[in-house]
Structure 1
Amino acid sequence: MLAVFKNGVVDPPKELHSPASSKAVGKDKTPEETLKDCLASDPNNGVSLDFLNKVIMAYVPPRPLGMPHQRLFCSVDDVHCMFLGNLNNLCNLNKQYGLSKGGNEAMFVIEAYRTLRDRSPIPAHQVLKELEGSFAFVIYDHRSDTVFVALGADKAVNLFWGVAADGSVMISDDVSLIKASCRKSFAPFPPGCMYHSDRGLISFEHPMYKMKAMPRVDSEGAMCGAYFAVDAYSKVNSMPRVGSEANWATWG
């Protein structure tokens, strides 16, 4: 899966960008060229959505062999979700949220997002802690122009993000797609964390602590986009909100 966010839709941590990208030998691929590469892996079944040339989401179904985790793509009322992995407690979650027993993980994530965005005071980090299994997802809420990304804490699923030469932020489970356009300006998305386009990068495992960037050097000795991890010595100034505004739309 591949998501491309242009025109300031996503404001990534500044440490994600590496000056070494400008010194790399060869030509960077544009996000559009990388999109074509993504879809070319399965031209008959791959699909993409383009939102006013600001956001592009591309999905290629999993192959029978070589992909241990399922990939899902779902859209409901202008909320679009790409999901990778499996939720072991999906049946219980669907029952808890009053959803259809036949719904898949991507449908659950969308419906839970919409419910919490519109009606529930439950903070996002609490909801994500309830998800049992290996998962990564990217949500784009077209109506509010909101992006919400999360990666499970068990490190069984990988997710990468980076900054392309044109400033676009790219997110994918395929690191080769990210490298093609972002060169050195990329990093693994940190496990147990979530990113919200309004609130930035937050650990849902340890929401009371701030995130810190740590230098990352590749095999050639070049500085790359930083690793991000919880700073155990730096707490946030206040508790996360638990009122009516503390939902996925505002505290995610």
Structure 2
Amino acid sequence: EDECPSHPRSMVVVDDVFCIFVGTLENTCDLRHHYGLSRQATEAMVVVEAYKVLRDRAPYPPDQVIKDLEGKFAFILFDARAGNLFLARDRDGCVQLQWGIAGDGSLVCSDDPKIITEACGKCYTPFPPGCIFMNGTGLISFDHPLHKVRAIAREDDNGNISAVIFQVDLYTKLHSIPRTGSAANWAGSTVVEGE
């Protein structure tokens, strides 16, 4: 009803994967070709297919999937079979996407400010641009996937939290795969057995 003409909204359900996509992709033709989709495939269908590649070909990093999307977009994807929630917003934050906590403790996500205000009251904030959220891994910057994304609370004069912003902490790296192999073992002493 309140859809913005410059950021159209589309919804698709494929194999129990629900996707609401807002905005446009500039490289839809390339992505259709990459994922083997027909010319009629919408941007939401492309996102569902990208998610399926991520889900089915693990450990494919989610930031690599999203980096391929060029344009002004935000999406909410839910995989009913796996119970996975996947959200993303473009680097520039051109498309609105809010998220917050409802009174019953559930997560609410929407591009409509009225919906988010009614559901969450004041307990919401803009979803950070250039980030993805998956319920298994948390919030990640797709430009800096090895660095932690921190929530920073803003307080009013009375000490009440008035807003939360998210920022990539370029000084704190996330844990990655430990190194193994010959370079990791050279520092150890050599023990010769048998004599």
TM bin, normalised by shorter chain, reads 0.7 to 0.9
Give yes or no for the alignment of 1:94 onto 2:32.
yes
Please report how far the alpha carbon of residue 115 of structure 1 lies from its aligned counterpart in structure 2 after TM superposition.
Answer: 2.5
State the AA in 1 paired with 2:33. K
Partner of 2:109: 171
Matched with 1:189 is 127
Residue 122 of structure 1: how far off its partner (Å): 3.2
Q: Which residue of 2 aligns with 1:105?
A: 43
CA contact (8 A) 2:155 2:162 kept: yes
Letter in 1 for 2:23: G
Q: In 1, are the aligned partners of 2:54 and 2:65 still within 8 Å (CA)?
A: no
Shift of 1:127: 1.4
1:83 maps to: 21
Q: 2: CA distance between counterparts of 1:219 and 1:97?
A: 52
Work out the percentage of aligned pairs sharing the same amino acid.
47
Distance across 1 between alignment mates of 2:50 and 2:163: 32
* Larger RCO, structure (CA 8 Å, separation 6 or more): 1
1:235 paired residue number: 173
Question: Normalising by structure 1, what TM-score?
Answer: 0.66
Unmatched 5+ stretches in structure 2: 179-195
Aligned length: 178
Pair 1:114-2:52 in alignment: yes
Q: Distance in 2 between matches of 1:192 and 1:147?
A: 17
The corresponding residue for 1:38 is: none
Q: Deviation of residue 237 (structure 1)?
A: 2.3
Secondary structure at the aligned position of 2:172 is classed as strand
* In 1, Cα distance between equivalents of 2:156 and 2:87: 25
Counterpart for residue 14 of structure 1: none
Residue segments in structure 1 that go unaligned for 5+ positions in a row: 1-41, 43-59, 241-252
Following superposition of structure 1 onto structure 2, how do residues 57-76 of structure 1 map, counting pairs within 5 Å?
62=3, 66-76=4-14
- Equivalent AA in structure 2 for residue 86 of structure 1: T
RMSD, matched Cα = 2.1
Aligned equivalent of 1:17: none
Report the 3-state secondary structure (helix = DSSP H, G, I; strand = E; otherwise coil) of the residue aligned with 2:87. Answer: strand
Partners in 1 of 2:11 and 2:55 — Cα distance? 20
Q: In structure 1, how many angstroms separate the alpha carbons of the residues matched to 2:57 and 2:31?
A: 17
